[in-house]
Chains A and B, each alone.
Chain A
Amino acid sequence: MEAKVAHDWRLRGQRYRLEGEVCEHCGAKIFPPRDICPHCHQPARKPQTFSGKGEVYTFSTVQSPPQGFERYVPYTVALVKLEEGPVVTAQLTDVAPQDVKIGMPVEMVTRRLYTQNDESTITYGYKFRPVLR
């Protein structure tokens, strides 16, 4: 329990508001942040908050969920290509699985991700939904 609290707390910037990094050496936009640029392997620590706009690159509908996600079944997990470049794995929300299409424009929203039980913390984070307008 305590380990989960510290882990979630450490990730709050990226989970709540898509805070990643930009590489000052090659200019690559990086999400999730990892402090080393995956493209040029130089240190990359300059924060960059992503716009949250993107499109569905590919997706899969989950029928057999991992522990903690049972209540959302069936739900769709997508690789979302952000308009700044990086591809993010995230749950889609406010959309029925049969209505998801590759290339569909989506936007980031902050929602409940999971909670272990009635006594644990509630973990919030990014999901994506079809653009509102």
Chain B
Amino acid sequence: MDEQVKLMHSQRPVGIIGYGSYIPMYRLPNAEIARVWKGGGKGPVKEKAVAGLDEDSVTIAIEAARNALARAEIAPEQLRAVWVGSESPPYAVKPSSTIVAEALGATPYLLAADMEFACKAGTEALQAAMGLVGSGMGEYALAIGADTAQGRPGDALEYTAASGGTAFIVGPAEEALAVCQASLSYVTDTPDFWRRAHQVYPSHGGRFTGEPAYFHHILSAAGAMMEQLAMQPQEFTYVVFHQPNVKFPRRAAKRLGFTVEQLTPGLLSGEIGNTYAAAAITGFSAVLDIAQPGDRILVVSFGSGAGSDAFVWHVTEAITERRDKAPAVADYIRRRQEIDYALYTRYRGKLQM
């Protein structure tokens, strides 16, 4: 196979012209989950973000998208696609994306669809949006990753399964605050995590979710990307990986040769948990909140099932005047209301009545 085929380039250069995130205010500490299920102790993260009673992946997507629109400064009618990636859509049949598009005022002349690929549904939407804009079919497209992830009570996933969302408006590179140099996707059939129809909670392969799933796909995608671009880890200002916990992205960074300084600004899972389809891209959003023109950022998502999307971004001058037009990720992390396990079971509908 031709080595160059692995990289993806759109026909015309594209980038992100607006980005925005949303994180619900409720926090469930891991120590509280451990108290209930293990009689005490700690968990893989400090705490996780929990959606309130009136929130779901649609309401989360709407606020993230409004923040992205505020930064992009385009009219919602200019969007030619709204794609929402999620593993927790409120309807089994009926698009979330039409609700989001209607709430933004983007209807009716656009594509709208929901993407599904576990934790990489958001970057799948981003790749598709870059394809649409990059081919010239439309000037602007909105890609969102949003989830209200659920873990079975007492299961290892319950410590991290969290709620949040991030949205990107893709447009021509000339208008971008971050231009995409290249993207690359790496996908295999690897059943590390799944949920069958009509099941409330997902199942997973335990330790199988590590080496053959997360690490293989992240390291392969990131490695192929850097090899094909002939770039070294030290050429990037920041690196962001999917973050199901804190130790996996740390280990991935170390194995690829990245430093703690490159990784930490985009590693949020310790404070908010694993926001699934929003995890890697909310880390990216937090990095854009502090990035400077000229910075290079490597973003690699991971979705169970399994696959990774990798992106190399160049931050432009536009970042400085646009980032203050919407709340930063840090603003949402700061807005924190701690809840106990009992309130958590009520907020997330875990009580059978």
Contact = CB atoms under 8 A, between A and B. Distances in A.
Interface string B36-61: 00000000000000001111101100
A54 B181 CA distance: 42
B54 A17 contact: no
A119 B140 CA distance: 35
Interface residues of B, number: 21
B103 A17 contact: yes
A112 B327 contact: no
Interface string A26-54: 00000000000000000000000100000
B104 interface: yes
Contact of B53 (A12, A72, A109, A133): A72
A21 to B, nearest CB: 15
Interface string A59-87: 00000000000011000000000000000
Contacts of A93: 52, 54
Nearest to B62: A110
Contacts of B25: 94
Contacts of A124: 58-59, 99, 103
A133 B327 contact: yes
A122 B54 contact: no
A111 interface: yes
B90 A72 contact: no
Nearest to B353: A71
Contacts of A94: 25, 52
A37 B332 CA distance: 39
B261 to A, nearest CB: 27
B54 A127 contact: yes
Contact of A110 (B52, B59, B91, B335): B59
A128 to B, nearest CB: 12
A51 to B, nearest CB: 12
Contacts of B52: 93-94
B63 interface: yes
Nearest to A94: B25
Nearest to B56: A112
B73 interface: no
A3 interface: no
Interface of A: 12, 16-17, 19, 49, 71-72, 93-94, 109-113, 122, 124, 127, 132-133
Given A110-B63, A122-B56, 12 more contacts: A17-B105, A49-B105, A72-B54, A93-B52, A110-B59, A112-B53, A112-B59, A113-B54, A122-B58, A124-B58, A124-B59, A132-B335
| A-B residue pairs, 3 tightest by C-beta | A111-B54, A16-B103, A112-B54
